[in-house]
Structure 1
Amino acid sequence: MKKFGLLLAGGIAAIVLIANLGPIVGLALSVLIMYYSFKQFIRTDSTFKKIIWALIGLAAFSATISNFPAIIGLVALYIIYVIYKNWKKDEIIVEEKSNDPFTNFEKEWSQLKN
């Protein structure tokens, strides 16, 4: 039943992630433009160029804020990551617990010897 819950939560998170792919790409591009304009703003000595780079940076900042739904998509991506890790952890635990009578006998026998 736990696997079903993880699968259901992962499916919902995947749908949310796919629905927010556009805002995620827009957020990435606007953050990249904002970073580049900041670096150019710091490098330049001309007042006119500083004004131009500041305006470009402000436009990129407003684009970044308008892509706020991308945060929901990034949270969905993190949820998928956590579900994937829990899924793998459950498989490792299941592999360690074996119902094979011979391995159980070996464990019991080694405990009796000690």
Structure 2
Amino acid sequence: MEMIIGGAFQGKSTLAEKDHPDVTWINGAQADWESLSHAEGVMGFHEYIRKEMKAGNDISSLAEDLIRVNPDLILVSDEVGYGVVPIDAFDRAYREAVGRICTKLAAYSHRVTRVACGIGTVIKDA
């Protein structure tokens, strides 16, 4: 597994497509579990988490399930845990869920790249 993370509009998608030109990408906001299970790469993984939470689905084992069924996946996700803590209870829960899930996935990943201003910095390369 590989992760490319960073703030909104920092160039993650561009970097991912440049570094992995042969990957077929799916959109996290439109993905379902079946497509996620078989995808090569996911753009906007954080949006998949939001969609599942809005639908009331249990995501407590999402990281573990994803590692088990698709260990070679490339994930592109916003870091949503920075900045002002949201007032809305759902937004706070979503922010925490993305952080917890991505932390587990990063620990498993062989490479994690953080993107700021279009520049990718490898923060894990195992």
Q: Is the structural similarity TM-score above 0.5? A: no
Larger helix fraction of residues: 1
Using the size of structure 1 for normalisation, the TM-score is 0.28
Decide which structure has the larger Cα Rg and report it: 1
